[in-house]
Structure formats: C-alpha cells, structure tokens
Amino acid sequence: MDRRQRKTRNAIFQAFTRLLERKTYSALTVQEIIDEADISRSTFYAHFETKDELLKAMCTDIFHHVFSNEIISEEHHDFSDKDSFQDHITHILCHLQEKQQTIKGIFSGECGEIFMRYLKEYLYQVFDRQLTDREDIPRAYRLNHAVSSFAETVRWWSKEHSEYSPDEIGRFYLESVDI
C-alpha cells in the first residue's frame, strides 16, 4: 500500500477516534472528520464512500487483529478441553485490551452498537463450535446468550471497569455463562 494512502487512512482513523470521544457517532459529520484529519474533501471520499463505511473499516481492522490468530489459523483446534477454551477466551480478551483506547472511544456514543454487531459476528464463529447441548433450552437461544453476554462483558470492561485483568474478566464470564 502506498505510504501516502497509509498516512491518510491513519489520519482519518485517528481523527475519527478523537472525535468519537466527545461527540456521538450520529451527531458527527463527515465535514468534521475532514477538518480534524486535516485532509481535503475529495481525499476523504477517495477512501470511504460514507461515514458508515469508515466505521466498518475501522471495526474490521480491529477484529482482524483480535481474531486472526483465533479463528483463521486455529480452525483445526478443538476446545473440548475446558481449560483450553478458557485460554482461548483470555487470549481474545488480551488482544482486545491492546486496542482498549480505540475501543473505549467507539463505545462512547451509539455507534457502539455497530461495533457490537461486528464483534458478535466473529464471536458466533468462536462459540458455535464450543457450545454444548441442552435439551430444555433451544440451542439458538443459548448461542445468542453466550455471544451477547461476552460482547456485553467486553463493553462493561472497556467502558467502566478497565481495572480488571483479562484473566479476571474471563473468569467472571465463564462462571456466569453455561457454555
């Protein structure tokens, strides 16, 4: 990728992150992002068609970093062993912690919803293979519950309780949800 493109893309991402700390996503205009990133109008539209595309691209970047080694390269793993699944969870949480600053910004404001949606898409892949069977509750419900609870755990952790370690958060989650 051209260095100029990288620089511009980065400038946009950073401006976007900064702005999200003080304004909600929907209240944010493309014009403000352009001004904050200090680039030309035409340059922005050369990179992203809309504000939504920008958010999508940023989420994809983050999750690719967080999940690439989890889903893609370890597809052959099975986590039938409970401890190894716990490690798996902790591993994901550690990656998320690295991106904490950015994620915290995204969560302020209602665009957190879009972030959560993308997060859940990845989580479905992780949990679908792991979920055990129970006869009294539909599998679809339990999968949704496991995924949603994990995503909400991440939100809770990032927004208000960053003082906990990935290990602790993983334990809270696994003791609260029946996988």
Q: Interface with a copy of itself by CB under 8 A: which residues?
A: 25-26, 52, 110-114, 136-138, 140-142, 144-145, 148-149, 152-153, 156, 160-161, 172, 175-178
**Cα distance between residue 59 and residue 96, in whole Å:** 12
Helix boundaries (H) for 68-165: 82-98, 100-107, 112-128, 139-160
Q: Which position among 31, 60, 69, 162 is part of the footprint of DNA (CB under 7 A)?
A: 31
Name which of 39 and 123 has its Cβ closer to a copy of itself.
Answer: 123
CB of 48 to a copy of itself, least distance (A): 16
3-state secondary structure at position 27? coil
47 is a contact residue toward DNA (CB under 7 A): yes
Q: Which amino acid belongs to residue 1?
A: M
Query: The tokens of 80 are what?
Result: 């039938």
Cα 171–chain centre separation:
20
Residue 83 interaction partner, one of DNA, a copy of itself, none, beta carbon < 5-8 Å per kind = none
The partner in contact with residue 78, picked from DNA, a copy of itself, none with C-beta cut-offs of 5 to 8 angstroms by kind, is: none
The Cα–Cα gap between 94 and 111 comes to: 23
Q: What is residue 25's three-state secondary structure?
A: coil
Among 13, 30, 57, 88, binds DNA (CB under 7 A): 30
**Footprint of DNA on this chain (CB under 7 A)?**
2-5, 7-9, 29-32, 38-43, 45-47, 49-51
